[in-house]
Chains A and B, each alone.
Chain A
């Protein structure tokens, strides 16, 4: 059965239904109604073309962008998808483009990058940034301990006692400063609002048990979302193919990808 997302809540509904089974919103065929606003001429999306809907919080949708051209630049001062009030967007931030019949998002060399919501687990590359609630975090595997090494003059460096750790979790504050660094002696770190290795009690967007990080003996870091409400997002390298239902962060804008 062919389905499409509810313009209100995003739930998949059969194409011939007049009301969303999940939230009860009336499906006004063919044009999406309610808070969504049509940006381009042409109400219907041809098959295979995508829409980006801005998510404004609890069940509320904002603007919907129909991606009918080949390239759709998002930025603070450039492109068809423009949010000039968002200081976290670079002037030209990302490009939503079709290639080989699939929608891709390309980071146009932005300062803050493009984040995509992970499904279950992903492998984190070195220094990869990820978002949990309002927390921008990073994992750094601990380097192997080479033991004391004298400098060129034969002097040894005095440091705090070495307490072996597998990896550290780094919190990046707005502006780029480091906030806290948590060193883990075990090979997993659980993150959430309470009862975890690392807790962010004041972050209302984090679930009680939100995500977990694991490091393999070879130093490979895996990030797993533990079924959180708001999800876990990782920064992409350069570009990534998008599927229906993907969620993408650019700047402060959370976009939902809908492909009919």
Chain B
């Protein structure tokens, strides 16, 4: 791995970091390899390729979203980071997630209350939603430390970030300008209210592509609605709607052709007819019901059911199924190399990828720490936390909001 030397403080950083771990300065990066254009090509290799090696592995049973991961690593490492700021322990394990200025890092839940955050209505948000933090540029004590505006820990002057919780320290705002957030070309005439959130395109190489602002109220996602969506022939003109309401962000599938797929973070209950994706495979789960006699008392003949409670079908076209696999026993593991149902030709499926299990008289889908994740198609609508990953059309997005 190459190291990038920070031209401000001299610390060496891993080459995929965007901000220096020592001072928070934006790192000069070698010109990135040109990202494969997400072509409007009609091949089947589009969408998941987008997700290739991009997504941080989902921690099994872990918290959802990378922002939350950041928060937890901040907790674990708070003391060490404060005492030895240059020890090389990153406060942020998720280098793809350098907190852009408008999106402050979540507060440390173990730390004291953040009045500013409360004031923005954070208390009304679901507990899984990291509360926003405002830059207060906290008053500097007489010593050579400042107290973190978020968690109150002492932070050495000159540090751009709090070692305990990762909050950007106000003084650092004099540092590098944040990257351009939104695509050019938008009418900047009216000083419209700042967007509450954004939908960030994740490129095939893992970097962030453009982003799309999410405003209060309803936001229509569709081909022709914004430059970010226009090249994707797998996106319906009216594909989905993102609504920011008092309870968070709701995503609603507008009966689009290809649907909205959310990356699952925990065990998700499956209902008959649910569709999900691992790698490039589009799969449908269905319950196999016990046989029932017809009205005249006749039963439909067939192979005696040896204990199949469900079936997993590979969708190969509109209303066309390919192979179908019976589900039986307590759990069936899906993977490329190991498991009960294998997709040996799909390089985007992990060796062991996901599990379908039956317990408590319900069927569940679990990701087994796959590289590219397991994506479940929305049945209708759902409130989602910030940091959620979703597939729409051929493209992978991450939603961030405050």
Does A4 make an interface contact (CB < 8 A)?
A: no
Does A95 make an interface contact (CB < 8 A)?
A: no
The smallest C-beta distance from A181 to any residue of chain B, in angstroms, reads: 4
Q: How far is the CA of A144 from the CA of B203 in the complex (A)?
A: 34
Chain B: interface size category: 35 or more
Verify B298–A89 contact, CB threshold 8 A: yes
- Residues from chain B with a CB closer than 8 A to the CB of A182 are 323
Verify A177–B320 contact, CB threshold 8 A: no
- Residues from chain B with a CB closer than 8 A to the CB of A135 are 303
Q: How far is the CA of A173 from the CA of B306 in the complex (A)?
A: 9
Q: How far is the CA of A133 from the CA of B99 in the complex (A)?
A: 64
When each residue 293-320 of chain B gets 1 if its CB lies under 8 Å from chain A and 0 otherwise, what string results? 1101111111111101001011111101
- Residues from chain A with a CB closer than 8 A to the CB of B324 are 178-181
Report which of B236, B297, B301, B311 forms a contact with A76, defined as CB distance below 8 A.
Answer: B297
The smallest C-beta distance from B276 to any residue of chain A, in angstroms, reads: 12
Does A212 make an interface contact (CB < 8 A)?
A: no
Does B292 make an interface contact (CB < 8 A)?
A: yes
When each residue 24-60 of chain B gets 1 if its CB lies under 8 Å from chain A and 0 otherwise, what string results? 0000000000000000001011110000000000000
- Which positions 151-170 of chain A face chain B at CB distance < 8 Å? 151, 153-163, 165, 168
The smallest C-beta distance from B356 to any residue of chain A, in angstroms, reads: 15
- Which positions 257-308 of chain B face chain A at CB distance < 8 Å? 257-258, 280-283, 288-294, 296-306, 308
Verify A136–B301 contact, CB threshold 8 A: yes
CB nearest neighbor in B for A150: B233
CB-CB under 8 A for A148 and B303, given A89-B298, A155-B257, A159-B315: no
Q: How far is the CA of A179 from the CA of B233 in the complex (A)?
A: 34
Does A99 make an interface contact (CB < 8 A)?
A: no
- Which positions 299-347 of chain B face chain A at CB distance < 8 Å? 299-306, 308, 311, 313-318, 320-326, 345-346
Verify B323–A183 contact, CB threshold 8 A: yes
- Residues from chain A with a CB closer than 8 A to the CB of B308 are 173, 179
The smallest C-beta distance from A202 to any residue of chain B, in angstroms, reads: 6
Verify B257–A151 contact, CB threshold 8 A: yes
Report which of A76, A147, A156, A168 forms a contact with B298, defined as CB distance below 8 A.
Answer: A76
The smallest C-beta distance from A230 to any residue of chain B, in angstroms, reads: 15
CB-CB under 8 A for A174 and B323, given A111-B294, A158-B258: no
CB-CB under 8 A for A163 and B42, given A112-B301, A155-B257, A174-B299: no
Q: How far is the CA of A149 from the CA of B234 in the complex (A)?
A: 11
The smallest C-beta distance from A260 to any residue of chain B, in angstroms, reads: 31
- Residues from chain A with a CB closer than 8 A to the CB of B281 are 160-161
CB nearest neighbor in A for B239: A155
24 A-B contact pairs sorted by A residue (CB < 8 Å):
A76-B297, A87-B299, A88-B298, A111-B294, A111-B300, A112-B301, A136-B301, A143-B320, A153-B236, A155-B233, A157-B258, A158-B46, A160-B322, A161-B44, A162-B44, A162-B316, A173-B302, A174-B301, A177-B302, A178-B324, A180-B311, A180-B324, A181-B313, A202-B306
Which A residues contact B (CB, under 8 angstroms)? 76, 87-91, 110-112, 134-136, 143, 147-151, 153-163, 165, 168, 171-183, 202, 251-252
